[in-house]
Copies of this chain bind each other. A is one copy, B any other.
């Protein structure tokens, strides 16, 4: 178990790595982090860029990312107040890890679509 403590074991429910995995293996985290990694981005800019992302979830996700030290929040005393979210070095290293995920989805979407169609066909055949 010392071994687990040293390395972390995400298969264990109460391990820190499991909690981290739960946070980072998330659709919105992947998308937001990849944008912010490119350049500092304002709250509403993020909301506009990520289609389907509600204000509430964006707010929660950003708060969580900030707490985890993955992004920083910077409020500027302009009028109206603008708030910019920027990547941290830790966040940048995660973004690099996450980027292949989006690329994989893009590269293999046709194969997945084919697999789904084949599966659904088999189901239909069985049912008939």
A residues at B contact (CB < 8 Å): 7-8, 10-13, 16-18, 20-22, 24-27, 29-31, 49-52, 66-70, 90, 93-94, 97-98, 100-102, 104-106, 108-109, 111-116, 118-120
Contact of B24 with A69 in the complex, beta carbons under 8 Å = no
Contact of A69 with B21 in the complex, beta carbons under 8 Å = no
Known pairs A21-B30, A94-B104, A101-B98; A51 contacts B109 (CB<8 A)? no
* List of 7 A-B pairs having minimum Cβ-Cβ separation, nearest first: A69-B115, A13-B52, A8-B106, A20-B105, A13-B51, A17-B105, A16-B109
B27, B97, B106: the one contacting A101 at CB < 8 Å is: B97
The chain B residue with its CB closest to the CB of A48 is: B11
CB of A16, distance to nearest CB on chain B (Å): 4
9 other contacts beyond A12-B51, A16-B113, A68-B115, with CB at 8 A cut-off? A13-B51, A17-B106, A25-B29, A67-B116, A68-B112, A69-B112, A90-B108, A93-B108, A97-B101
